[in-house]
Structure 1
Amino acid sequence: MMESMVDKVLRKIGETCYLYHRLILIVGPARSGKTSVMQKVSEITSVPLVNVNLELSRRMLELTERQRTFSLPKLLSEVVEEVANELVLLDNIEILFDIHLKQDPLRLLQGLSRDKTVVAAWNGSVVDGHIIYAAPGHPEYRRYPIYDEHGAQKFLFVCTEVGT
């Protein structure tokens, strides 16, 4: 199973050149193999796998909560720019959903994907034409439509769940 997921991700990377946002989300629940897929893609492409939680936590350590909110987009952009490649692999992105940071995680990832192809592990699911993060009622719950008002796909995705 993991090998076919890796192949899907590599194929999607090739398809991004036709998109406005060159964003690919590897979607699945916790412990569904997203990190293993990302590690294999990293190995094949020789692109480092970035632990977003770790990198942003280090950079925000000495900032106040207010400074963190305003600095996060710039700091995330710096993390991505430090990857000297047109492809960026982002794992452990949960910090982007922290309600205290007041961010729109999908919009942040889409912004990054204008200049580089971004592959990110998304801890969630795809349901009824929407990408979901967390469960309804959870403070970090997010639900985004996959298609825009014109029927164009906003990003590419690969699901680690069987049957999606």
Structure 2
Amino acid sequence: MSQTEEFVKVVEAAKEAKGVIFVTGKPGSGKSKVLREAAEDKKWDYVDCRLLISEEFLAVPKEERNAKAPEMMGEALASYNSDVILLDRLQTLFVPVFNLDVAALLKELGQKFVLVAAWPGYVKDGMLCYDKFDGTESIRIPQDGFTIWNVD
């Protein structure tokens, strides 16, 4: 069984409960490739997270963005037609000026959609970890409440 076939089985099993599945793996391990192949095979929507940051969202005052993001980004995701939405470039949402609690945002959106996100970091001690190469940013999100699937 190929990695993409294995991945599709994990996503299909999670569809009833909705929620968020994080695809983890080292840089260059094929996370995005698996998402794109599954999107093509299953006709799921593959979405670059940069598309979730609209001019309308940027017009919201910074201190209000975290509260408004679930509704605004939920509307954007609702415009897609598949039962699974594959998110890539998740690190876009970590930009400090957006003022987002990414874990809370994804958990809320995961109540309405089956979301699969390529995690741009690693898992350690029960935490999803993302470290920018220049050391300016370190994100830690508890993996509780999320499904994790690792690309080998």
Give the TM-score normalised by the residue count of structure 1. Answer: 0.76
Contact 1:39 1:49 in 2 (8 A): yes
| Equivalences, count | 152
SS in 1 for 2:120: strand
Contact 1:12 1:156 in 2 (8 A): no
Report the RMSD for the aligned CA atoms in angstroms.
2.7
Structure 2 runs not aligned, ≥5 long: none
Show the 5 A alignment for 1:16-35.
Answer: 16-17=14-15, 19=17, 22-35=19-32
1:30-54 CA-partner distances (Å, limit 9, x unpaired): 3321111110010111122111113
Q: State percent identity of aligned pairs.
A: 24
Give the TM-score normalised by the residue count of structure 2. Answer: 0.82
> Cα distance, 1:65 vs. partner?
4.5
> Cα distance, 1:22 vs. partner?
1.9
Contact 1:99 1:140 in 2 (8 A): no
Find the counterpart in structure 1 of residue 7 from structure 2: 9
Amino acid at match of 1:10: V
Change (3 A) 1:100 1:13: same
Find the counterpart in structure 2 of residue 157 from structure 1: 148
> Cα distance, 1:125 vs. partner?
0.3
Show the 5 A alignment for 1:14-163.
Answer: 14-17=12-15, 19=17, 22-57=19-54, 59-60=56-57, 65=62, 68=65, 71-134=68-131, 138-147=135-144, 154-160=145-151, 162=152
